[in-house]
A and B are shown apart, each in its own frame.
Chain A
């Protein structure tokens, strides 16, 4: 499958509520970051968690966030960043 984003693209993590096993932590939902790399395509863990095959594959990205974008009271250096892996279906263009 063709990845929708490429390194350098700005993305917004969806602010979505969902039950079950979800690997997108609350603290990045609704935040804007930059694609750092494409990690690969993997079975969807949200479906694997219910015993399904996890198909179709979902592209996983490493996404880079500014710490002061994630935490309103962040008092470290302004160029501190955090990288986290997010599946494509949790991202939209920013």
Chain B
């Protein structure tokens, strides 16, 4: 039972350090802030170990998702698991927000 995070010792190509330089985007900082708030001492809605469990549950998709998308998926799954919100509420909110974001992207 090898998780997608446990690649030590498997055959792999060389690591190109240049492509690992990255300036965080606004969206990535938002995800970071979201996690800090959900995990803070006052709310304690989840822990980093739980986030790791969820990220590792991505299986092969783990390597397809960028770093902060893995975080966001883990946060979402944890909040669903804990009943903080339901899938229906999430779907409804996404349907509400998506047209606005698309309008911002295409228009302004």
Contacts and interface: CB of A to CB of B under 8 A. Distances in A.
Give chain B's interface residue range (CB within 8 Å of chain A): 10 to 19
Contacts, number: 38
A50 B8 contact: no
A48 B3 contact: no
Given A26-B2, A51-B82, A21 B49 contact: yes
Task: State the main secondary structure of chain B at its contact with A.
Answer: loop
A21 B52 contact: yes
A25 B47 contact: no
Interface of A: 17-22, 25-27, 45, 48-51, 54, 70-71
Interface of B: 1-3, 6, 8-9, 46-47, 49-50, 52-53, 56, 82
